[in-house]
Structure 1
Amino acid sequence: MIKKIDHLGIAVTDLAEAIEIYRKIGLEFVGTEVVDEQKVETAFFRVGESYFELLAATDPSSPIAKFIDKNGGRMHHIALAVDDVEAEIGRLQAQGFEMIDSAPRRGAHGNLIAFMHPKATKGTLLEICAKCH
């Protein structure tokens, strides 16, 4: 079951510069984390009970680096909090939605995540995550 929007993922070319921008906006900075499996460094900002997640590539072969090469820095994904990622993958697949991940994988903070293919939503990359924050 989808509980809430957990975070909005924003691809950035320069993490330090982006952190300063979002601090100046007045958002509450939570911290940074390198997610080796995803080849990204993240920075989180609290916005009420949701977050902005800034994503910068740590390797030119990472999905975020490829996204930025194609699209520039901009909104990347919307993450939806769920109780059980594996069950949600099954439910979505049963509804006919194409998933990028057929099994959960580890994301920031060691949380379980999975992505729906943007074709399934006519262009929006959705992430489902459990125990996000």
Structure 2
Amino acid sequence: MLTRIDHIGIACTDLDATVEFYRAAYGFEVFHTEINEEQGVREAMLRINGTDDGGSSYLQLIEPTREDSAVGKWLKKNGEGVHHIAFGTADVDADSEAIRGKGIRVLYDEPRRGSMDSRITFLHPKDCHGVLTELVTSAAPHAQGEPEGH
């Protein structure tokens, strides 16, 4: 069962400048940064709030580290902006199988590692009214680390 909006992914060409915009405009601070080599992105997670299920909601700012990454290709075609929406779930495996059973294409056969050691999969945007949709099972809170001091 989907429990919350985990994050909204925003593709950008300059991660540092985009982080500074969200800090200056809205007061959001960086909670976590990492480079995901498999997905070819450098990212910053800006924590917005906590949720009833113990998770949090974030803005995920993503900058491609290579032009041939999925985000790099998307950015070249669409420009900066909202890339995807991610819903939190306690069990990405079960929920992706249930959704697959409803005829919605799940892009990964098995969930992969996502931000902050989460487990993720994506749903095909053509089956979700044009919205690339991610399902996320967060890692245990202690595995996510502490907010970064910026």
Both structures adopt the same fold (TM-score exceeding 0.5): yes
- State how far apart, in whole Å, the 2-side matches of 1:38 and 1:109 are: 14
Tell me if the contact between 2:9 and 2:61 (Cα under 8 Å) persists in the aligned partners. yes
Residue type of the alignment partner of 1:48: N
- State how far apart, in whole Å, the 1-side matches of 2:10 and 2:58 are: 11
TM-score, normalised via structure 1 length: 0.95
TM-score, normalised via structure 2 length: 0.85
Residue 12 of structure 1 corresponds to which residue in structure 2?
Answer: 12
- State how far apart, in whole Å, the 2-side matches of 1:51 and 1:83 are: 17
Q: Where does the alignment leave 5 or more consecutive residues of structure 2 unmatched?
A: 51-56, 145-150
CA shift, 1:102, in A, is: 2.4
Residue 117 of structure 1 corresponds to which residue in structure 2?
Answer: 124
Q: Could you report, residue by residue, the CA deviation over 1:28-68 in whole angstroms, capped at 9, with x for unpaired residues? A: 32131111111101101111221000000011111010000
Residue type of the alignment partner of 1:27: F
Residue 39 (structure 1) aligned with residue 40 (structure 2): yes
Identity of aligned residues (%): 38
- State how far apart, in whole Å, the 1-side matches of 2:138 and 2:48 are: 17
- State how far apart, in whole Å, the 2-side matches of 1:39 and 1:110 are: 16
Within-5 A mapping of 1:1-133: 1-25=1-25, 26-49=27-50, 50-131=57-138
CA shift, 1:76, in A, is: 0.4
Tell me if the contact between 2:107 and 2:124 (Cα under 8 Å) persists in the aligned partners. yes
CA shift, 1:101, in A, is: 1.6
Tell me if the contact between 1:104 and 1:114 (Cα under 8 Å) persists in the aligned partners. yes
CA shift, 1:22, in A, is: 0.8
Q: Please give the secondary structure, in 1, of the residue aligned with 2:22.
A: helix
Q: Where does the alignment leave 5 or more consecutive residues of structure 1 unmatched?
A: none
Tell me if the contact between 2:32 and 2:116 (Cα under 8 Å) persists in the aligned partners. no
